[in-house]
């Protein structure tokens, strides 16, 4: 929990001493991306930046920033959680609250493809830049790439992701790329294409983006054919959490299966763990941490 004193202090600092954010980020104790067992477990919390503030029939449950931060800090308190991936506003808050010490911190570059917008697949830079990743001492950056071959708005996003990957490799920072196939449903809405054949093709496209693939990791769903999907790349893979479902055990089982694939190195999960159906954030996070790090307690 964030105490009333800590919350008031955060609000006061933001209003009167904005330079404290850079100071807090610069003072952060850093650590390697991978724990001693070669895996990593990252909490994802960049959803509100796309206007996604609803979970499981609660349309505005993520609109309370203090609650979002408290849930994220509960997750980060678990020694099996290695870090967090978030937009600048959330990382700034976490830094001021001292929650980033000893954790991996990944910035989120493009959240401008707002869900349901007319430009949804034209997903340009709205968050961290590569220079800001370096300046703030962050460990890397995440990019979302939704590909719909029938929508020309995918084109500028592909070009932008290739450019960011090139820039991140030049400064030796992690480029976490989430390539997903999309299509249009009968209502004209953009939706995830769940066909594994199409996802495999997206992985092939993602592999080749940028002038160097040395620092590229892929963030992918745990599909029914996750072994085949991951066989399409030699890059390290991180499994995403997706939309929370009514049966969390199903997701846990999918993640366990995915972690058996040789080049899968961990999880990047957000809403499924921060807003579990039973309300037990710490319990859900502990279960996921045991999947990623079955033989150790946190980073060594």
**Per-residue model confidence (pLDDT) at position 56:** 83
**Per-residue model confidence (pLDDT) at position 242:** 78
**Per-residue model confidence (pLDDT) at position 176:** 98
The predicted-structure confidence for 42-65, as pLDDT tens digits, reads as follows: 999 999 999 999 998 889 999 999
The predicted-structure confidence for 97-146, as pLDDT tens digits, reads as follows: 999 999 999 999 999 999 999 999 999 999 999 999 999 999 999 999 99
| 200 torsion bin: left (phi>0), alpha (psi -120 to 50), beta (else) | alpha
Q: What is the largest CA-CA distance in the chain?
A: 53
Beta strand 174-184 with 190-192 is: antiparallel
Model-wide pTM > 0.85? yes
Share of the chain above pLDDT 90, in %: 94
- Report domain extents, the chain: 4-292
The predicted-structure confidence for 66-101, as pLDDT tens digits, reads as follows: 999 999 999 999 999 999 999 999 999 999 999 999
**Per-residue model confidence (pLDDT) at position 25:** 98
**Per-residue model confidence (pLDDT) at position 264:** 98
Cα separation of 279 and 67, whole Å?
A: 12
Q: Is the pLDDT of residue 246 over 70?
A: yes
The predicted-structure confidence for 141-180, as pLDDT tens digits, reads as follows: 999 999 999 999 999 999 999 999 999 999 999 999 999 9
**Per-residue model confidence (pLDDT) at position 297:** 52
**Per-residue model confidence (pLDDT) at position 75:** 98
Q: Is the pLDDT of residue 300 over 60?
A: no
Beta strand 237-240 with 264-269 is: parallel
**Per-residue model confidence (pLDDT) at position 299:** 40
Mean pLDDT score across all residues of the chain: 96
Residue range 205-212: average pLDDT? Answer: 98
Q: Which of 42-56, 237-251, 259-273 has the lowest average pLDDT?
A: 237-251
Kindly state which CATH superfamily the domain 4-292 is placed in. Answer: Aldolase class I (3.20.20.70)
CA dihedral (240, 245, 248, 252) in degrees, to 10, reads -30
Residue range 224-251: average pLDDT? Answer: 92
Q: Partners of 140 in the beta sheet?
A: 106, 174
3-state SS track over the chain: CCCHHHHHHHHHHHHHCCHHHHHHHHCCCCCCCCCCCCCEEEEEECCHHHCCCCECCECCCCCCHHHHHHHHHHHHCCCCCCEEEECHHHHHHHHHCCCCCCCEEEEECCCCCCCCCCCCCCCCCCCCCHHHHHHCCCCEEEEEEEECCCCCCHHHHHHHHHHHHHHHHHCCCEEEEEEEEEEECCCCCEEECCCHHHHHHHHHHHHCCCCCCCCEEEEECCCCCHHHHHHCCCCCEEEECCCCCCCHHHHHHHHHHHHCCCCEEEEEECHHHHCCCCCCHHHHHHHHHHHHCCCCCCCC
Residue range 11-18: average pLDDT? Answer: 98
Residue range 210-223: average pLDDT? Answer: 98
Q: Which residues of 164-185 are buried (b: 16+ CB within 10 A; e: fewer)?
A: bbebbbeeebbbbbbbbbbbee
Residue range 205-223: average pLDDT? Answer: 98
């Amino acid at each position: 929990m964030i105490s009333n004193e800590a919350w008031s202090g955060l609000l006061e600092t933001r209003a009167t001493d904005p330079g404290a954010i850079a100071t807090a980020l610069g003072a952060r104790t850093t650590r390697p991306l991978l724990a001693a067992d070669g895996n990593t477990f990252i909490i994802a919390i960049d959803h509100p930046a796309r206007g996604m503030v609803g979970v499981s029939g609660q349309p505005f449950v993520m609109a309370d920033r203090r609650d979002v931060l408290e849930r994220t800090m509960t997750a980060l308190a678990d020694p099996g959680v290695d870090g967090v991936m978030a937009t600048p506003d959330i990382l700034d808050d976490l830094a001021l609250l001292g929650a980033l010490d000893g954790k991996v911190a990944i910035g989120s570059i493009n959240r401008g493809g707002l869900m349901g917008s007319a430009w949804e697949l034209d997903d340009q830079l709205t968050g961290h830049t590569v220079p800001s990743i370096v300046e703030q001492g962050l460990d890397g950056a995440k990019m979302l790439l939704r590909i719909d071959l029938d929508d020309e708005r995918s084109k500028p996003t592909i070009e932008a992701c290739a450019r960011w990957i090139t820039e991140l490799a030049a400064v030796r920072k992690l480029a976490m790329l989430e390539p997903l196939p999309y299509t249009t449903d009968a209502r004209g809405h953009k939706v995830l294409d769940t066909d594994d054949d199409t996802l495999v093709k997206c992985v092939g496209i993602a592999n080749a983006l940028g002038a160097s693939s040395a620092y590229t990791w892929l963030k992918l769903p745990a599909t029914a054919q996750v072994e085949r999907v991951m066989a399409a790349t030699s890059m390290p893979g991180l499994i995403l959490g997706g939309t929370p479902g009514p049966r969390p055990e199903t997701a846990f089982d999918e993640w366990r299966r995915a972690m058996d694939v040789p080049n899968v190195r961990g999880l990047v999960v957000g809403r499924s763990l921060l807003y579990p159906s039973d309300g037990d954030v710490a319990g859900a996070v502990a279960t996921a941490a045991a999947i990623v790090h079955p033989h150790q307690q946190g980073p060594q």
